[in-house]
Structures are given as structure tokens and as C-alpha cells.
Amino acid sequence: MKIAVAGTGYVGLVAGVCFAEKGHDVVCVDVDENKVEMMKSGKSPIYEQDLEELMQKNYKEGRITYTTDYKSAYRNADAIFIGVGTPEQPDGSANLTYVATVSRQIAETVEHDCLVVVKSTVPIGTNDKVEQFIKDSLTNKNIKVEVASNPEFLAQGTAVKDTLEAKRIVIGTESKEAEAKLMEIYKPFNLPIVSVSRRSAEMIKYASNDFLALKISYMNDIANLCELVGANIEDVANGMKYDDRIGANFLKAGIGYGGSCFPKDTKALKYLARQYGYTLKTVEAAVDVNTVQKTKLFHKASERLITFNGLKVAILGLTFKPGTDDLREAPSLDNVELLLKQGAKIYAYDPVGMENFKKKYPDQIVYVNNPEEALKEASVCFIFTEWNEIKNIKPETYKKLMKTPLVYDGRNIYELNQMKNAMVEYYSIGR
């Protein structure tokens, strides 16, 4: 089937490459010419495991192409997937400008009946508006364009695997014809398909992400109480995970969630509920807990130290989690800002995230090639991301290299006794 994909970020590019891998004829559209040329050369604009390899394979075999020419891409497509960004606005609502732009381009371009599929995370009811907007904008009134919802459930760092081996595919349609076409597109994936209405599909996406965010914030809240009462959050999580009603995933405490999904989606659903006069108290609590959790270690260190002014501070890990170069809502950003305001001399290491971080802080901090350079003569160390390169640092290394072996670990990488035996003053979350 001929598929066009609008947007080549985590959602659009991964979807396009995976559709090609399953045998579809795919063209990916982006407005950035440099990005398109980069993809044509076989380079991925995002850091994602297995993605570049599949891009090169399917481009070589002629199943995927990249272009800025949306007219040629949309003109004869059987299905057009919208995977553009829906960034958070100051009030927490989703910005649908990019979705509207693509919708207008589709209406002005398509030359025969086609299915438009929204993969971007959008507020409930958006697909209805997109369909009406396209119908209002169609220049050829004899063309039928129907809109379907097909939210993604990928995690950055495992996005390709999460798409090709998804636990389920959710499709939201308002006609048997649209449902049948989406079923045909996904048939080669041989995965369970949940077929519901458009609005239910939109809600499934938000409800799923926000539930996981709730779970994380709950464990962080319990971890904070564990510290006060003398319990160990890892022991608590271990005891909880055997209950099938709870499950083993998303029980790890830390310094909060980040990335492109959880922060944005919790705020968007909170905003949407308030538009309808309803308060999602649980979601609002998750947002509040996460906001405070991100800088918990900074404030703990502030109680230990008189000032950060003039001190060398080592930061290990900049991205919001391992396996990605994404910095969106990363705890490192909040903490770096606070440290710089206090006059800290920051030396930072991350295996893949430093180039992106340089765009935000090009001159204010020192970027180093390995953790040891960051730790040498440092007065304090913060661990924000559990990369293997950081987890493999031996406890005695902190004692050997640092001026003061004072470590604040936001990801609970080390055993308490390990650091104690290495004579490292060590603070973690919930232990």
C-alpha cells in the first residue's frame, strides 16, 4: 500500500521505517531540507536503537523515500499518517498548529479518496475536527477523505522494537471502510488490534501514558516517605511486584519522569478535564509530585553544603533516560539551571546527549569525554541518567578521583554498602 508519513520525529520516522520494513511503499515528508538530505544519506536525525540500520536497508531496497515535496507525497497516497509534534503550550494544552498545517496541505493536494490517520498524541475530539477541517478545505468535492486515530505507544530507546513487536495496535475509526483499510495496513505486523471509536482511541493514549506517570509518581512519593521512616524503597518495590494486580514495571523510584510524552500528556489531560469542568485529582497529584521530585537531590545537597559557588560539580547523565539523546523535560535541565545560578563550575558527561545539551548551554558548562574527567577533583557529583557507562563506574573511583567523595544518585545505581565500604558519602532516593 502507498503510505505517506508527515513528520520525521520519533513518531513519524519510526512509523514510516517500520511500515516499509513490513512491505509498504512509504514516503516520509519533512519541511527541513537538511534533515531530508541527512535521511537520504542513511543517517537518522534521532538517536534510536536499530532505526538507522532499517532506514538504510529499506531505502536501498526502494521501499522508503524522504522528501520536502508534500504535494507529490500526498497526491496519490492510499493512506497519510500524521506524526508531527503537538508541543505543550504555556497553559498545558496541546499545540495543534502542525496538525492543522498538514491537514490543510492534504486537503489541497489529494487527488483521490484516501484515509488520513492521526498518530500524533492529540486531545480527545481532535480527529473529529481534523476530518471536518479537511472536508471544509477540499478543493475537489468529489474526493472522500476519512480520518482515523492510531496512537503510538512506543518508548524512546526501544521505539523500533515497540512498533514491530507492539503489545497491541489501537485504531479508532467511524466507518467499516476506514477500519478495514487500517486492518490491511497492519496485517503484516501480525499483532493484536484493538478497534474502537476515534474518541476512545484518543483517550486510550492519554489514559495509558498518564497511568504510567501516576505509577512513577506514586513510587517516588512512597520513596520520599521511606527515607523519613527508615524503610528501603527497593525492598518495598520488590515486595509489591509479585502482586499481579500491581505488576513489576514502573516501580523504580528516582528523580522523576521526563521525555516527550509523560510530562506533556499529563498536563494536556489535566487541561482538557478542566475545560469540561472536571478535576483529575490523581493526574494533578502526579504532576505536582514529579515537579518537586526533579530537584530533590539538589535541595538535599544544598542542606549539606554551604554553597555551590566556585565548586567543581560533576554531572553524569544529561538525557531523561538511557537509550535516547532526547532532553525534553530531563531532570538535568532543572538542576543545571539551579547550579549555574549558584555559581557552580559544572563538568558534564553523557554518551549521546552532550551535543543536544550544548544547544541549550553552549558555554556555561564544560563537556568531557568520559566520566573520570568529570569526577577528577570534583567536590560533588550528581547522577541523573543510568547509562551503562555510568553504572560501570566502580565505587572506589569516586573516592580516588573526587576532591570530596560526595555523590547524589538520582537513579539508585549503587548498593548502599558498596558506597559505604568505598568511603563515599552517598545519597540516593528512598533508601
What is the C-alpha end-to-end distance of the chain, expressed in Å? 54
User: Where does the pLDDT of residue 92 fall: very low under 50, low under 70, confident under 90, or very high at 90 and above?
Assistant: confident
pLDDT in tens, 176-189: 999 999 999 999 99
Higher per-residue confidence, 232 vs 259 = 232
Residue 139 pLDDT level (bands cut at 50, 70, 90): confident
What pLDDT is recorded for position 251?
Answer: 96
The pLDDT of residue 414: 97
- Geometric angle at alpha carbon 46, from 9 and 72, rounded to 5°: 45
By the 8 A CB rule, do 331 and 320 touch?
A: yes
Quick one: what percent of the chain has pLDDT higher than 70? Answer: 100
The rounded distance, in Å, linking the Cα atoms of 280 and 237 is 26
Whole-angstrom distance, CA of residue 361 vs CA of residue 336 = 9
pLDDT tens, residue by residue, 23-36 = 999 999 999 999 99
Amino acid at 264: K
Q: Which of 18, 114, 226, 261 is catalytic?
A: 261
pLDDT of residue 239: 97
CB 383 within 8 A of CB 427: no
- Domains, the chain, ranges and CATH? 2-196 (3.40.50.720), 205-293 (1.10.1040.10), 296-427 (3.40.50.720)
3-class DSSP state of 4: strand
pTM: 0.92
pLDDT grade, residue 260 (50/70/90)?
confident
**Rounded to whole angstroms, how far apart are CA atoms 32 and 35?**
5
Residue type, 395: P
pLDDT tier at 234, thresholds 50, 70, 90:
very high
Is 226 part of the annotated catalytic residue set?
no
